[in-house]
Amino acid sequence: MERGLRLAVIVGSTREARFGSTVARWFTTQAEARAEFGIDVIDLADPHLPAVLMSGPDVVVDSFRERLDRADAFVVVTPEYNHGYPAPLKQAIDLAHREWQAKPVAFVSYGGISGGLRAVEQLRQVFAELHAVTIRDCVSFHNAWPLFDADGWLREETGADVAAKTMLDRLAWWARALRAAREDEPYAA
């Protein structure tokens, strides 16, 4: 299979009139240009994941977890809100556990002067607890809003495409290595 790695791109903002869909569209275009990835965009504004996890079965949560389970790797597109990441993103992460284990996670962030990097550093701690492997290299957009035109494309060369290529190269390596390891011996946390 040409696109043998299944990459889930998680759009972490659910705010009305959010900028996250613009950043996610740009990144998804970068990832789709890569032959090794098949892309599944999981927009947290779409599935309406519950704020409270009930004890019984939930079709929406089960579907979300199945999509995560099928993925070989993840890219989380996150804003930075008040020096952290969005609450709906934390809820979505916490709805699954085994589905994250022994899989690589990379980040595309955006925000004001920090470019969302404070949110990314917090997410690294969360994913470490879930036994996921975070990729050192990321893409961040500092003061992101004026960087994109009205159609959602970068106005000028920012180096983001080079950063995305580096991140995706490393993500693919980790995804192949960890998938082979999971196939050889199931991961037990």
Residues of the chain with pLDDT below 70 are 1-3
pTM attached to this predicted model: 0.95
The pLDDT of residue 3 is 61
Q: Please list the residues that pair with 84 across neighbouring strands.
A: 81
The pLDDT of residue 63 is 95
What is the CATH T-level fold of the domain 5-184, as seen in this structure? Answer: Rossmann fold (3.40.50)
Helix, strand or coil for residue 138? coil
Residue 130 CB neighbours (<10 A): 18
The pLDDT of residue 158 is 84
DSSP state of 3: T
Per-residue tokens: 184 = 């050889």
The pLDDT of residue 1 is 37
Cβ-based burial of 146 (10 A; exposed 0-12, middle 13-18, buried ≥19) = exposed
What's the sign of the alpha-carbon dihedral 79, 81, 84, 88? negative
The pLDDT of residue 48 is 83
Element (H, E) at 104: strand 104-111
Dist CA 139 CA 115 (whole Å): 9
DSSP string, 147-161: GB-TTSSBSS--SHH
